[in-house]
């Protein structure tokens, strides 16, 4: 048996208003006049947060369109543009939800690794450390701030660049940045964390490391979505730490059925991660009875709409392609259902499940 030896984020700042320390944090990492490049979620274009970005010299802000989940060609285009304009950059700072953070991680890696980011979709294919990279979440839940992957849709697959070079060098966890997110979005992304916890805690890969973080994260999700009557400043802090702990939990375990099925939806229909997981979780009583019951309670309590019938008009060919993508996520199924998962999750069973979504 070989134990996972995983790379973590090197530096972490947590606290309301900690974003104000960004200038001080970046200064020692500036290399001559090579700029810091801020990849900012397009939501913040024209918003007050921009005036707080500490621009010096040739520093540049690039608004990233996160209408769709990050693509390898989007990463390649940004990296090519930066190389053409500056040659070298001092660092890449991602400000936004999971999408903007994933773009920042990937662009950092593509500043030093040759070829296309699509060449590195997989496990441990990245050969060179990227440039200095900072993650600053404005939504809580994905765990992208702590993970060793950046999920990209490429020409042939939707798969992360999983490597020891992928985690951020620095993260800044400032709960103030999530406070104005719309309730629906906050819920979908928050449920990503809740679902990470259920899948990790109910999985066969579970050990005490993941359990400790997973239980804490679950506890924090419950405080926010079950116990409170309404969202408050403490909720932003709790969900931000839930996301962090949930990410740490899956660092040593794995996600499960909801993610494996939701990947198929996202590949075929472009369904976004958070909402896709919710659409699937809504129908997983058989696998996670207690978690699904509580999930439904949270949906109702927080007045959230979960889409249904999204697979109603699909052809058999389309169902097949979702089933192929989903069954390709072997570690997820093995974590969820054990070594004999292929006998349990047959194509017919999965076809029936997709049919219900």
Choose which of 10, 27, 180, 346 interacts with ligand NAD (CB under 6 A): 180
Choose which of 72, 74, 163, 189 interacts with ligand NAD (CB under 6 A): 189
Residue 189 zone, left/alpha/beta (φ > 0; ψ -120 to 50; rest)? alpha
**Shortest CB 48 distance to ligand NAD, Å:** 12
Per-residue binder mask for ligand NAD (CB under 6 A), 133-162, x = binder: -----xx--xxx--x-xxx-----------
Please report whether residue 41 would count as binding ligand NAD according to CB under 6 A. Answer: yes
DSSP state of 164: T
Residue labelled with tokens 């490597």: 163
CA distance 249 to 173: 18
Contacts of 32 (CB under 8 A, 6+ apart): none
Size of the site for ligand NAD (CB under 6 A): 31
In which element (H, E) is residue 20 found? none
Q: 169, 132 in Cβ contact below 8 A? A: yes
For the chain, counts of helices (H) and of strands (E): 13, 9
**Shortest CB 149 distance to ligand NAD, Å:** 5
Nearer to ligand NAD, 35 or 177 (CB): 177
Nearer to Zn ion, 76 or 202 (CB): 202
Nearer to Zn ion, 35 or 276 (CB): 276
CA distance 142 to 189: 6
Q: Of 52-91, which residues contact ligand NAD (CB under 6 A)?
A: 66, 69-70
Please report whether residue 192 would count as binding Zn ion according to CB under 5 A. Answer: yes
Please report whether residue 181 would count as binding ligand NAD according to CB under 6 A. Answer: yes
The stretch among 29-37, 54-62, 267-275, 320-328 that binds ligand NAD (CB under 6 A) is 267-275
Choose which of 99, 121, 163, 200 interacts with ligand NAD (CB under 6 A): 99
Could you tell which of ligand NAD, Zn ion, none binds residue 133, using a CB distance below 5 to 8 A set by kind?
none
Residue 61 zone, left/alpha/beta (φ > 0; ψ -120 to 50; rest)? beta
Distance of CA 270 to the CA centre of its chain: 15
CA distance 156 to 162: 17
CA distance 32 to 306: 50
Could you tell which of ligand NAD, Zn ion, none binds residue 175, using a CB distance below 5 to 8 A set by kind?
none
Please report whether residue 96 would count as binding ligand NAD according to CB under 6 A. Answer: yes
Please report whether residue 264 would count as binding ligand NAD according to CB under 6 A. Answer: no
Q: 191, 141 in Cβ contact below 8 A? A: yes
Please report whether residue 43 would count as binding ligand NAD according to CB under 6 A. Answer: yes
Nearer to ligand NAD, 23 or 45 (CB): 45
**In angstroms, how far is the first alpha carbon of the chain from the final one?**
38
**Shortest CB 27 distance to ligand NAD, Å:** 26
Residue 54 zone, left/alpha/beta (φ > 0; ψ -120 to 50; rest)? beta
**Shortest CB 134 distance to ligand NAD, Å:** 15
Residues forming contacts to ligand NAD in the complex (CB under 6 A) are 41-43, 66, 69-70, 96-100, 102, 138-139, 142-144, 147, 149-151, 178, 180-182, 185, 189, 192, 272-274
């Amino acid at each position: 048996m070989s134990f996972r030896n995983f790379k973590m984020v090197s530096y972490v700042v947590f606290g309301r208003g900690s974003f104000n320390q960004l200038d001080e944090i970046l200064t020692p990492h500036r290399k001559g006049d090579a700029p810091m490049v801020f990849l900012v979620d397009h939501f913040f274009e024209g918003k007050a947060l921009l005036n707080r970005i500490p621009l010096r010299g040739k520093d540049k802000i690039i608004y990233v369109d996160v209408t769709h989940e990050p693509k390898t060609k989007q990463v390649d285009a940004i990296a090519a543009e930066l190389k053409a304009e500056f040659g070298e950059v001092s660092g890449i700072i991602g400000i936004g939800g999971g999408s903007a953070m994933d773009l920042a991680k990937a662009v950092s890696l593509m500043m030093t690794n040759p070829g296309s980011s699509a060449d590195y979709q997989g496990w441990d294919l990245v050969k060179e450390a990227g440039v200095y990279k900072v993650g600053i979440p404005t939504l809580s839940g994905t765990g992208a701030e702590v993970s060793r992957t950046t999920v990209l849709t490429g020409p042939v697959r939707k798969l992360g660049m999983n490597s020891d070079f992928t985690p951020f060098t620095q993260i800044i966890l400032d709960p103030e940045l999530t406070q104005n997110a719309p309730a629906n979005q906050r819920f979908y992304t928050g449920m990503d964390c809740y679902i990470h916890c259920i899948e990790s805690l109910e999985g066969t890969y579970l050990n005490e490391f993941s359990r400790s973080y997973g239980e804490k994260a679950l506890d924090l999700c419950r405080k926010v979505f079950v116990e409170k009557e309404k969202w408050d400043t403490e909720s932003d802090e709790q969900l931000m730490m839930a996301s962090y702990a949930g990410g740490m939990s899956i660092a040593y375990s794995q996600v499960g059925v909801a993610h494996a099925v939701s990947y198929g939806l996202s590949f075929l229909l472009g369904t976004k991660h958070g909402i896709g997981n919710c659409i699937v979780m809504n129908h997983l009583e058989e696998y996670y009875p207690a978690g699904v019951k509580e999930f439904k309670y949270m949906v109702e309590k927080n007045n959230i709409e979960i889409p249904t019938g999204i697979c109603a008009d699909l052809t058999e060919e389309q169902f097949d392609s979702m089933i192929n993508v989903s069954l390709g996520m072997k570690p997820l199924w093995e974590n969820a259902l054990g070594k004999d998962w292929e006998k349990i999750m047959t194509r017919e069973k999965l076809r029936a499940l997709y049919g219900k979504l």
